[in-house]
Each structure stands twice: as structure tokens, then as C-alpha cells.
Amino acid sequence: MSGANHDPELLRRAAQAALDLSECDWYRYLLRKNVSGRSLSDAEERAVIDGATRTAAALARQVTATYGRLSPPELAAALGLKVAERPAGESPEPYLYLALYEPAARAIILNEDVMLRVRRFIEVNGLTDLTHPEDIPAVALFHEIFHALEEETPDIYTRSRMLNRKALGLFPYRRGLDGASEVGAVHFSREMAGLAYCPCIFERYLLLALGQLSIDLFVPNV
């Protein structure tokens, strides 16, 4: 359950190295995690990261100006979003997730079971001074609030067709990128929660806890 079978010193060094990774590197990791994001050139990658982080920062400023400094559940309530916790037990979804946003129901679902795993991993392995377990639900909520705001903001950059492509090398067309939306959500959650580190580290903890990642690959190679 806790995935605590790691050399504590090695794990701590890996966590520290991950925390030292630049914001831009984490966002590059997010883009590359998305299968359709792998075809970006370096310049496109930089442009998408820049566009997504600017959008997220602007949205964070706008939300704070409108609603003041609210806690994530208060902000969700102010925006008329439902928040539900998926009870512990086997996930009905075929993939691992910390939280998700259902636009049809305007509902954010927090995956309690998965968040608990990450929390326990941090606690059991004595990493609470580096990464704080209480940040997990806050960050997850802010992450999904960003997606809810995106849904209701026409022409937002993270949902736009920002890439120029050519079909069969001849016919120009524009396409978007799901990864841009994820970069925006992570950046927004970080700004809103006032986090000093990138919350993507929670994903890496989870994979480590589940034995789906070896410790030498803990720091994403970007």
C-alpha cells in the first residue's frame, strides 16, 4: 500500500532532484506525456508552455480579483461547481487519476483512494518536509477548477488551435494540443495554492508507490 520499499536516502535524493527541476522542465514532461504532444519542435514546445502558463497566471489573477483568496472548496462553490469524492475501492475508470472534471454535470470528482496512496507514501517515507500531503487535495481541486473555467472561456489559449501543421506535407491546417490544457491546469493550481514546487511530483510518487516506476527514473528525463 505505501510502497515504502525504497532506500530512504536514495528516495530523498531523488525527490530533492525532482524538486530542483525547473518549472519549464516539468511542463515539458507534461507535454511529452501526452502522445499527441511528441511531435512538437523545441520552439513550439517553448511557445506552448509560455502561452499556457501566461493564460493560467492571468486566469488566477482574474479569479482572485473577482472572488478574493478563497479555499479550493469555497472557490468551487462560488463558481457553482459540485465537488464529490469517489469513495475508496476499485476505480471504475480504466486509468489512474487524481481528480477529474465532468463538464456535463459541472462536477469535480476527487479520487480519494489515489490521493490517500500518495499521502501515505509521503508520510511513510518521511518526505513531509519536502512535499506536504495536505497540498494534494487543494492542488487537485484547483487543477480541475481550471478545466471548468477553460470550458466556460471561449477562445482561451489552452483550448485553441495553436499549432500550424500541413496534411500530407501540403495542406495547411491548425490543430490544438491537450497537453497545453494540462500545463495550464498545473500552473494555475500551483499559483492558486501558492506552492513552491511543481505538483507533478505527486504523480511520480504515485507511480513509485504502485511499483510502476523505478527510482532511477523518478526525475523525468526532459
Partner 1 sequence: MITGLLLLVTFIGLIIYCMKGGNLLVGFIAASIVWCIIGRVPMSTVVTDIFQTSVENYGKTIAIIVFGAWFGRVLVDTGIAGYIIKKTVELAGDMPLVTTLMLSIVCALIFTSAFGVGSVMAIGMIVLPILFSLGIDKKTALGAYLLAVAAGMYLNIAYVNQFFAVFPNVKYDDHYIRFAIIATIVHVAVMCAFIVFNYFRSKKGGKARAWAVGAAAEQKDAKSLGWYCVIVPFIPIIMVSFFKWQPIPSFLLGIFLGLLLTRNFASYSLAVEKIQKTLYDGIADSGLLIGMLYSVNIFQAAAKQVSPILQNLLGGIIPTAPVIILIAFCVLAPLALFRGPLMIWGSGIALVSIFQAMGVFSEMFLFALFLVPPVAIVASACPTQSWTMWGLSYAKLEPKQYIKTNLPWAWAILIIVEILAFVMIGNV
Binding of residue 215 to partner 1 (CB under 8 A) = no
Half-sphere exposure of 147 (CA within 13 A, CB side): 21
Between 57 and 86, how does the x/- string for binding to partner 1 read (CB under 8 A)? ------------------------------
Measured between alpha carbons, how far is 97 from 86 in angstroms, rounded to an integer? Answer: 11
Nearer to partner 1, 35 or 65 (CB): 35
Binding of residue 33 to partner 1 (CB under 8 A) = yes
Only one of the segments 9-17, 20-28, 119-127, 214-222 lies at the binding site for partner 1 (rule: CB under 8 A); that segment is 214-222
Geometric angle at alpha carbon 135, from 144 and 72, rounded to 5°: 45
Only one of the segments 7-15, 26-34, 59-67, 120-128 lies at the binding site for partner 1 (rule: CB under 8 A); that segment is 26-34
| CA-based end-to-end distance of the chain | 29
By CB under 8 A, the count of residues binding partner 1 is: 47
Query: At closest approach, how far in Å is the CB of 177 from partner 1?
Result: 6
Write the CB contacts of 121 (distance below 8 Å, at least 6 apart in sequence): 2, 3, 4, 127, 205, 206, 208, 209
The DSSP letter of residue 87 is P
Measured between alpha carbons, how far is 137 from 111 in angstroms, rounded to an integer? Answer: 9
Query: At closest approach, how far in Å is the CB of 111 from partner 1?
Result: 9
Nearer to partner 1, 127 or 200 (CB): 200
Only one of the segments 14-22, 65-73, 76-84, 212-220 lies at the binding site for partner 1 (rule: CB under 8 A); that segment is 212-220
- 3-state class (DSSP) for residue 90: coil
Nearer to partner 1, 33 or 120 (CB): 33
Picking from 92, 87, 85, 91, the residue whose alpha carbon sits closest to that of residue 108 is 85
One of 2, 16, 91, 164 touching partner 1 (CB under 8 A): 91
Only one of the segments 62-70, 76-84, 126-134, 210-218 lies at the binding site for partner 1 (rule: CB under 8 A); that segment is 210-218
Helix (H) or strand (E) holding 96: none
